[in-house]
Amino acid sequence: MASISTKLASAGVCIVVLGTVILFRHQLTSAAAKPDLKPLAHWVFDPELLQGKTIPDRCGRLSATLMGAATISSEGPTPHLLLTGPDDGVMVKPRVSPDAAFLPKDALAVIAWVRIDEPNEWGAFLGCFQDNGPSEFGFVAGFNNKKFYLGLTSVNTKKMTYLESRTEYVRGQWYHFAGVYDGQEMRLYINGQLESTSREQSGAVLYAKSAPLVIGRYKDDNEDYPLCGAIKELMLCGHAVEAEAIAAHFEADRPLAAAPSVVPEGPRFLIEPYLQYVTRTSIVVMWETEEPAQAVVEYGKKYPPDQQVAVQKMVTLGEVALTNLEPHTKYYYRVVCTDANGRKLESKILTFLTAVGFNDAYSFTVIGDTQRNPIITGKVAKLMWERRPHFVIHNGDVVNDGDQKWQWVKDLFKPCNELFGRVAMFPCIGNHEKDHPYYYKYFSLPKPEYYYCFTYGNAEFFVLDTNTKRNLTPEGEQYRWLDKALAASTAKWKFCYHHHPPYSSDSDDYGNTWKGPSTEGDVRVRHFVQLYEKYNVDVVFSGHIHLYERTWPIREGRVDQKNGVVYVTSGGGGGRLEDFSPTPAFFKREGRVDYHFCYVTIHNGTFNLKAFDHEGRLFDEFSLKKD
């Protein structure tokens, strides 16, 4: 990965605010006279040039195709490509080999008019690269949270340099970008002015054996993050364009850089309101703003809500417990923030349902290992929301790097915003959270938070931390707590969940099954199995292995269909998929290598679980019944 910063995600649905009327309008057209920069490819984003979903290349080499909900718009001072959704972008070539004639070799330049409406840790206008750990190839022109950059790897360095601008962009404002490499020096120009240089690279550009050439996305084999904003035009040149020509290209459309921002000033949500820890009479509402603000949580059974709780302190992360609520009742709520300048920010009015009674029917969804794949996570979250669950449980690895804030913001909360804003999510902590304070900051759970229990309907859920820093033996704190908690439980249904599976048919996490033996699960976690069997736990959920697996009912190390415990591994929320052992384990009943989620319904003595893939197709189902 790049040395200047840890790459984070940005793939949630972008919100482009266009509520203000743009008074400035300079007549900028794609036909305006400009210097000939002799590009290899030149894309101009004008509705008059669009052919269905195909954007022609003015050089005749590389026509491109709109992806997702990307559109070509005439709104504002200039026609442009508008990118707002998680799937938006423009695909030029999905796979490019290093000998492709259209790729720049000894030198290159990327020149564009661009607008960033929402900052991301990593985003791109144009790229043909792979940046996977030590494997760094190709070039990418883009932006991060604050600045523009040009990234490039040469044959003599074999490691990518990310050259940043001095300019910090203003969201919603147009900029002229030019990144140049002459075989010895990288140069970055913003609005016609040279801003930074680097001589870390030398020689021809080093390309991967295969990489996508794509517009409007930071995309390689294991990363794919969209641009939320706009592109007016984009050129790829096979030579180092001179400074005078770059300045002239900027001057031709200079008034565009003076156009007012399309994003109005004022407070903004970094994380929109979401729900935590619902009970029959209470729920926690949380949110985060970019800058400190006071807030009021409005709530009530009427629309619009007629009660409120105020947060008088100026805070960025808000947390309000709504109490004395009525059981099994629908409430409306919204969060209204006011910054130090008196400017207001209102969320949309959302809903929640307080927990149901012991004899009521209810449902919940199960997901695990969302990690760093916001496109898949968003698809699965949308499918879960369509089922209208009462709550969600997460089997851990909610993000890929728990110490990276933007992964929490962009990879977890952004794609799950609609779901988490309507139903509470109860997580367990995985190894990728790194026991970081962000986990405890963003979730409101009973102390000590890394293990806890909660009741819903006629079930009780016991949530554990099975990471290596915890003692899981009978002498450990969690074991002793779980022994007492299970013994005291009077719930009809008992469920436990934690990140690591005690039983797993995975191919290589617990020993390379293609070459030798496997422990077929996490032996540390098996200490808990004797408690599961002692207290007749019904189902144990886990993640960590990126696939779906359901065991036979197991007791004392063998299948026992009458008295056994069922173990469900559900780790298909976004992490890179894994595989099964070549030979089946004694406990394996059903398995699927796919992104997925589970949907559970319970009424009195009937439990039913359905497993759906990320396209919404049912692939497994089972039921349990008890008196």
Query: pLDDT tens digits, residue range 439-474?
Result: 999 999 999 999 999 999 999 999 999 999 999 999
Q: What are phi and psi of 70, to 5 degrees?
A: -60, 140
The identity of residue 379, as a single letter, is K
Average pLDDT over residues 182-191: 98
Reply yes or no on whether the pLDDT at 264 is more than 90. Answer: no
Compute the distance between CA of residue 374 and CA of residue 390 in angstroms, rounded to an integer: 23
pLDDT for 133 equals 74
Task: Answer yes or no: is pLDDT of 20 > 60.
Answer: no
pLDDT band at 223 (very low <50, low <70, confident <90, very high): confident
Mean pLDDT of the chain: 93
Which residues of the chain does CATH 3.60.21.10 include? 362-625
- Interacting residues of 99 by C-beta distance below 8 A, sequence separation 6+: none
Tell me the per-residue pLDDT of 224-234, one tens digit each, with 9 for 90 and over.
889 999 999 99
For tokens 């809500």, the residue is 305
Q: What is the DSSP letter of 247?
A: H
Q: Where in the chain is the domain with CATH 2.60.120.200?
A: 41-258
CATH says 41-258 is which class? mainly beta
15 pLDDT higher than 60: no
Which range, of 18-27, 134-143, 195-204, 347-356, averages the lowest pLDDT?
18-27
Residue range 514-525, pLDDT digits in tens: 999 999 999 999
Look at residues 526, 543, 548 and name the one whose alpha carbon lies nearest to residue 595. Answer: 548
Please give the share of the chain, as a percent, with pLDDT higher than 90: 90
- Asked if pLDDT for residue 436 goes beyond 90, the answer is yes
Q: Give the integer Cα–Cα distance in Å for 62 and 77.
A: 27
* Predicted confidence (pLDDT) at residue 215 exceeds the cutoff of 80: yes
The verdict on domain 362-625 having CATH code 3.30.420.590 is no
Helix (H, G, I), strand (E, B) or coil at 3: coil
* pLDDT > 50? residue 569: yes
Strand-pairing partners, residue 205, are: 154
pLDDT for position 17: 36
Separate counts of helices (H) and strands (E) for the chain: 7, 39
* Intervals of CATH 2.60.40 along the chain: 286-352
Instruction: Indicate the SS3 state at residue 211.
Output: strand
**Token pair of 627 as six digits:** 């008196």
Question: Which tokens in the block code for residue 331?
Answer: 């409430």
What is the reported pLDDT for 36?
79
The CATH number of the structural domain formed by 286-352 is 2.60.40
| Predicted pLDDT at 35 | 62
Please give the Cα distance from 543 to 486 (Å, whole number): 22
In b/e form, how buried is each residue of 524-539, taking b as 16+ CB within 10 angstroms? bbbbbbebbbebebbb
Residue 154: is its pLDDT beyond 60?
Answer: yes
Closest CA to 118 of 226, 267, 231: 226
Q: Residue 225 in contact with residue 218, Cβ under 8 Å?
A: yes
Question: For 51-88, how does the pLDDT look when each residue is reduced to its tens digit (9 = 90+)?
Answer: 999 999 999 999 999 999 999 999 999 999 999 988 89
